[in-house]
Structure formats: structure tokens, C-alpha cells
Amino acid sequence: MVAARITVNGKVTPISPAAPHTSVLDFLRERGFTGSKEGCAEGECGACSIMVARPGVNQPTDWVATNACLVPVAALDGQEIVTAEGLGTLDGSGTPTALHPVQREMAVRGGSQCGYCTPGFICSMASEYYRPDRCAGADSADTAADPVAAEPHTHDAEHGPNGFDLHSLSGNLCRCTGYRPIRDAAFALGAPSADDPFAQRREQAAPAPVATEYTRDGRTFQRPETLADAVRLMRERPDAVLVAGATDWGVEVNIRAQRADYAIGIDRLPELRELRVASDHIEIGAAVPLTEIERRLDGSVPLLAQLFPQFASRLIRNTATLGGNLGTGSPIGDSPPALLALGASVLLASVDCEREIDLADYFTGYRQSVRRPDELIRAVRIPLPLAPVTAFHKIAKRRFDDISSVAVAFALDLEDGKVRSARIGLGGVAATPIRARDTEAALVGLPWSPETVEAAARVLRSEGTPMSDHRASADYRSAMLGQSLLKLYAQTTEAVLS
């Protein structure tokens, strides 16, 4: 087996002697790439952002921005990354000789103040700069002299006339409150030039995943080649930690000093990265990043389309997975309520067999489930057809990039003014995500009217066993449950009237 190595700014660099749990951030800084900073060590500030070459959705390679503080460097064995130091034009020794267009716009528009967050912003901004469908119809120069002239795109507070989506920067914080010049820099960017090496790189295949067995100081990170190899390893090592996006495990390593004697990387297993649409269901691989799911479904599952922008930040969604969100079993995870409302099931794979479990029967207690230690989540299956009326309401202290106090997902079928069917998923009001079955029963078969909805809202307020903590009181959580149903009714009424 080839020694573990990673390509950093075009140069192959051995991972040794880093420990298997060492983050990409620490690995880079120990080798002199100090542009990436540690601001929070939880994936919430973006000061550590880098770009990773990943298989593209509509082209061979996408440049994907990632939190370097969360990903173990062993998980990037054989992969290719670019740091802020690697952007721009470099000479033969790797010394920058000219600014990258993103760097130039940040400089001339005052987007860099203290400079601590700037390299992370630049990497996230560069990832969006190279998104292929962003620059459709934009000026072909490095930067648009008049970005408004290239306006085939919707231009609003969150999207520039050049197609730049500010949500791509939602995981990057500026402590100097310099957001307006940063936004101005983002909205001034045109399309990459024809000879841009990073744009040209998109036309070549991304590095393929490689089998990895990296051991240091008695601890091992292993990436198997196939699902069969993975479940066999899990049978042999029931104490193993599964690592996909590492957006949860990375926090445990950084903040709680957790260390795994044996970790299994499953993020690149081909069997876990499929997304298939059949006549009666949609099957989403457990290791498909959320951003990729969003792009590939392209709004065809409206409830998920509402969920994704509210799920953490783009930086997190670029690596986080449905399998990981369900595997942690958190009662405040954002995806379980939506998947419960969609009637989803999980496919659990082991050496012996694969079994399908209704998600409503999957959770058994706080961070506990029916999944055995030798099983992993292979995929999530959503039945078709979809309910025509759906909504996802996340109640949190911030609009984006926050943990929910309460999450409510609705999937209703209304026919001739009556509720034909209803599924309601709840998060943050019990030890597990739950279905609001009493409320569903209070709706089905009755007219979709103020009287029915108000009565059902009273039932919804009593669902679960909400508790008081630093995010919200139990009374507030209960009140928000009922309010969510009233809001849904108002929204559907407005849609009919309009």
C-alpha cells in the first residue's frame, strides 16, 4: 500500500508523522501554510477554509470549500487541496507573483481588515467563483468592469448580478464586521479567464479515493475500498468510529479531546455515494454531501429544498451527510424531522444482510437507535409520490447557521378542501425526533379550515416532552409547535388566494 500523502497547492506531501486524528488545519500549519486559522475549532467561523478537488456534479471536478479544522488529514489521503497561499500565480518555487482575481477584489474593495478571517473567506469565495453555473452569461474577463451588465441572474440581497450566491460565505465570520466590502468584492467577480489554471483543472477528473491504512502511535485510520470491506471491518472492530463528513466527530476531537483507536473512513465508498430516482422512491446514499444532494435534486423534493439552506452553513453542507446526521441520533438534528414528514426509511447494511427500517421506528432513545454496532446506514429512501403541501419551519435564534430550538416539518395532501393525509416530523421537543401522530390524527379526514387547524394546533402544542435549556423554555417550544401549524395554514391560504 502506498504511503499516505496529500497534494497541497500542487506539491505531493506525506501525511506522516501526523497522528490519524490530526486535523487538516493543524497539518497545514505545521508545514508553514499559516493562512488557515483556528477561530472556533467547531466549523462555525470559516477561518480555516480550504478548497478540495471533488468529483463534480456537472463536470469532472468541482472546487469545494471545506472546514480544515474538522477533517482528519488521513481522510484526505490521495486527495488534492488548495490553500489561500496556493491561489494566484506562482513561480517555479511556489512563490506568489500575482494576485488571484478573488484576492484582488478583496484587496481593492477593502474586504480585508484585521486579516484573520481573510484567507478563509478567499477560499470560500474562490470555490463559488469556480462554480460553473454561476458564471453562465457573465463577462468572460477575470473581473467584470460592470457586473450589472452580465445579469442573466436574479439580483437580490443574497445573490449578486454576477450569479454569486452569498450563502457560499454563510460559514465565514468577519469579526471586524466588514461584510459590506466582502459582499462588494464577491459581486464584482466576473467569469474565470480561459487560461485560469483552476478553471482548467475542473475539466480533469478529481483524484479517485484510495484505500488507506494509516497507523501512528497505536491508532489507525482505515479507508476500505468497498462497502463489503467496510462492514467486515465493523464486524471485526465494533469499537470503530465511522467517519464521513467529520462535521460532528471533528468537534469531538477538537473540543472534547476524543481519540479513536480505530476509525473507518466511509465518505468515499461508491455504494454510499449513489443518488437514484426510481418510479416509486428516491434513494440517497448515506455519504452524499448535502450540497451535492441539493444540486442533484434541484428542487424536485420541495421539503428538502426548504431544509438545506437552513442546515448549518454551506461550508458544513459541503461535507455533512444524511447518514451522519441520522447516525448521531441527535434530537435537534435538522434532517430527521423533514425525513419523518417525507415517510423516509433507512437502509442498514451489515455482513449478513441489508434491512430497511421506517425512520419513525429507527430512534429508540437519546442518541440511540436500532442500528447495531456492525451495521452502517447505506442509504435513505423517500417514497414517491410526494405530498403536495410541504413546509419546514426552523425556530432558532439566528436565521441561518444555528442550532434549532424547535424544528417542524409538514407533508400534507389536501383534496377537495379536506386533509387526505398528514405527516408531521418534530425535532427539539423530545429525547428523539418524533412523528406528531396525535396531531396527524386530528387533521386527517377533516376540512382544511381555521377551526380544524386551531384545534389541531392545540394538540400539536402537547406533543413530545419539551424541556427548558439555554436555547428555549419548554413553554416556548410548545407554543412554537402550535404556531407552526397556524403559519402553515396561513401560507397555504395565501397561495390559494394569490
What is the chain's pLDDT, residue by residue, as a tens digit (498 residues)? 578 999 999 999 999 999 999 999 999 999 999 999 999 999 999 999 999 999 999 999 999 999 999 999 999 999 999 999 999 876 666 666 789 999 999 999 999 999 999 999 999 999 999 998 886 644 444 444 444 334 445 677 789 999 999 999 999 999 998 899 999 999 999 999 999 999 999 999 999 999 999 999 999 999 999 999 999 999 999 999 999 999 999 999 999 999 999 999 999 999 999 999 999 999 999 999 999 999 999 999 999 999 999 999 999 999 999 999 999 999 999 999 999 999 999 999 999 999 999 999 999 999 999 999 999 999 999 999 999 999 999 999 888 888 999 999 999 999 999 999 999 999 999 999 999 999 999 999 999 999 999 999 999 999 999 999 999 999 999 999 999 999 999 999 876 544
pTM: 0.93
d(CA 178, CA 127): 20
Nearest Cα residue to 101 out of 165, 36, 193:
193
Q: How far apart are CA 75 and CA 267, in angstroms?
A: 9
* Three-state DSSP class for residue 398: coil
Cell of 406: 424547535
Residue ranges per domain, the chain?
Answer: 5-201, 224-386, 390-497
Query: What CATH fold (topology level) applies to the domain 5-201?
Result: Ubiquitin-like (UB roll) (3.10.20)
Q: What would the CATH number be for the domain defined by 390-497?
A: 3.30.390.50
- The alpha-carbon radius of gyration of the chain (Å, integer) is 23
Q: Which segments of 138-248 does DSSP mark as H helices, in order?
A: 179-187, 197-201, 227-236
The answer to whether 376 and 234 are in contact (CB under 8 A) is yes
**Whole-number pLDDT of residue 198:** 95
So what's the pLDDT on residue 401? 84
Cα gap 322→425, rounded to integer Å: 16
Q: How far apart are the first and last CA of the chain?
A: 63
- The residues, ordered by sequence, that sit 6+ positions from 118 with a Cβ below 8 Å of its Cβ are 84, 106, 111, 112
Look at the block and give the residue holding cell 455533512. 320
Residue 156: the pLDDT is: 78
CATH of domain 224-386: 3.30.465.10
